[in-house]
Amino acid sequence: MRLASDAYYGMKTLGIACRGEMKTLVTLQVLLHVAHSLVVTSDQPGVTVEAVRAVLGPSEKVQCVFLVLAHGPISQSIYEIFIHYGTLVGMFEVRAVGREGGGAWFTPLSEVVVRARQIRRGSWCVTVVVVSEDLEFLAAFAKSSLQHRLLVWTTRLLVVTRLTLQQVHRLLSSHWTFSMMNAMVLNQQQESSGNRFSLYSHLPYSPQGGQVVQAASWRQPAHRSLHIKFSSLFPEKFSNFYGAIVNVSVLPYAPYWEETAREAEDGTLVKAYSGTDYELLHTMSTTLNFTIHVLPSSTWEEVGQLVADRVSFMSPMHHVPVAQRLKIYDFSYGYEYGSFAFSAATPSLRPRWQSLYYPLSDFVWLAVLAVLCFVPVSLYIVNLLGSRLEFENKISFSVAIQMVTATLLSQNLSIQLPKSHANRALVMAWLLFAFIVGTVYRGNLTAALTLPKYPPRPETVEDMVETFDRISMPSYGGVFIENFKNSSYSVFREMGEKMFIIKSALEAMQRSRDLRESHVGWESYMATIIARHFIMADGSAQIYLGRESVSRTLTAWPLPHDAPFKRQVDAIMVTVLEAGLYEKWRSDFLDAVKKETREKQKKALEGEAEGNPEDTGGLVNALNLVHMQGPLLLLLLGLGGAGFVFAVEVLAFSSPFFTCI
């Protein structure tokens, strides 16, 4: 807009009128810097009145609220046009002002557009009429109405002006407000035979591409009684894109959007897309007849900014509609309930001597120890009494201990079997006990060695926050980190303080194997990453997903604010969801990933089998130090004890005191 410091114009809300009764809404004067003033009233005011009435139609069929924005004094005839319809009318006047009544209150144009938007949001049907013949003012209105979201697709915009045909074409094609929204221009041109009125609209997509079309044309006063059906004049701009290229911004994010390179017939590499949201976008492109063009972007912030700047028409990727995002763009129909989950490294097995202890519980071990202490004593006492009665050969207490211990370890008796019935009954009861306990222990020991007990792992959000020192989120997580820090839930606040941004989930999961870190991200995406990169040949996973979700929310696609094609996007989404196609695409994608992973595992096992002829096909797992540390430590302990006793004996036998004895 060209500025002129010596020309000041104000905008004033005259009020709201209903069937001739004036109801004051607000009084407002606005400072505008423009080049010259505009006189809205034409040379033949009656002609303009008839033209506007012809476009708006019969008064009994008009039910919408009118918001009239005129650049200049509003004549009585213009005012009577809208009073004639008997609906609510809000009039905003732009005219040259001085110091009226000793002073004036000057406000930016944006202030008036904001007030007009408040009226529009409180009404179910609104028609905005802009009366001006100044291109600079119309351009300023287009910019301000877009910035402050005055118009939505259901809001009809009629521009009443007197411009040349070239100016009309330039106006309609150079501003989003006039080219993409539900807008038309009523243009008056003076001819030798009288005044000609023409209605123009811009079609962004047509068989000939973007073009300005003439919807109607007539002369005055020859057709003074002409009435045009107002609602039918506004064309549907987005029911068919006629093969036009539609820009979208997105980054690969499985299972929603996958990007792969394949070789074309001419030998060049071309990008191929797959995933659930790509299938949904492809369905839209087939239905609305447009060609998908993915804009290059490197971060999720750039993806969203392209949508906010209207360079990209949409981002075909699920986004959580948080308050910070709603400030810069709108969202489509919420099509999926998803959840944020946390992932961490599966706790690994460390060598532990308790592998010998795990097969029996603490109480069983105590009972076995008590029996092991009781039986030698009983055996010794019974043998001692029997030897006095000459029933048995006398044995020492150490021999009794040796007999009990040997049979417990499945060894033979080192002495002759007892002769008395009491001793035989005692030994038989002990052998039966030792057989049962030994069999149970060996069976459980085999299970404990081949299926060892894993350390406990965090499964809830509280466990995750308590266990890990650092928690990562993907590049789009800045908004969520701030929300967590400001949460009323203490666990979320503590989690937000530990969070940091990382480049990718794959990098975060690789770090979690080596560092004390966890990663918070979208559950289905992390499940796909785990299936592709962290599944081992035996089917176990190096990374796991926590059982409890961090949060669960509804997701949607980002769209530009008040996008005129939102109705079409939402309608196709609802149809696809009701048909069950989205879930089918998700299932097919995950099945394909699992099949690919299984084939890789099979090839890896076949390669290992070829390299090792004695390999049994991966069905038998060799025991390692994790399993056998207990027996090795027991052996070392025994060797150490024997060495210590041997050293004591050598020293004892070589000492002078022992020699004297």
* Residue pLDDT, tens place only, 571-624: 999 999 999 999 999 888 888 887 887 777 777 767 665 655 554 444 445 666
Which residues, 6+ apart, have CB-to-CB distance to 644 below 8 Å? none
| pLDDT one-digit tens code per residue, 484-502 | 999 999 999 999 999 999 9
Confidence tier at 341 by pLDDT (50, 70, 90):
very high
Distance in angstroms (rounded) separating the CA atoms of residues 398 and 251:
78
Please tell me whether residue 312 adopts helix, strand or coil conformation: coil
Long-range pairs, 397-400, Cβ under 8 A, ≥24: 400/376
Question: What is the pLDDT at residue 198?
Answer: 87
Which residues, 6+ apart, have CB-to-CB distance to 372 below 8 Å? 404, 405, 408
List the alpha helices (DSSP H) in 39-160. Answer: 45-56, 76-83, 109-121, 135-147
Distance in angstroms (rounded) separating the CA atoms of residues 120 and 123:
5
Mean per-residue pLDDT, 440-449: 78
| pLDDT one-digit tens code per residue, 463-489 | 999 999 899 998 888 888 998 999 999
| pLDDT one-digit tens code per residue, 371-389 | 888 888 887 777 777 666 5
Confidence tier at 648 by pLDDT (50, 70, 90):
confident
Please tell me whether residue 57 adopts helix, strand or coil conformation: coil
Instruction: Tell me, yes or no, if the pTM score tops 0.85.
Output: no
Closest C-alpha among 388, 228, 250, 367 to residue 307: 250
Confidence tier at 103 by pLDDT (50, 70, 90):
very low
Question: What is the pLDDT at residue 617?
Answer: 46
Better-scored residue on pLDDT, 107 or 353:
353
Distance in angstroms (rounded) separating the CA atoms of residues 53 and 427:
118
For residue 324, list its beta bridge partners: none
Which residues, 6+ apart, have CB-to-CB distance to 142 below 8 Å? 175, 176, 177, 178
Mean per-residue pLDDT, 4-27: 34
Closest C-alpha among 74, 84, 22 to residue 54: 84
| pLDDT one-digit tens code per residue, 204-215 | 888 777 889 888
Which residues, 6+ apart, have CB-to-CB distance to 404 below 8 Å? 372, 375, 376, 379, 430
Q: Is the distance from CB of 114 to CB of 149 less than 8 angstroms?
A: no
Question: What is the pLDDT at residue 41?
Answer: 34
| pLDDT one-digit tens code per residue, 204-260 | 888 777 889 888 888 765 444 455 555 567 788 898 898 899 999 999 888 899 998
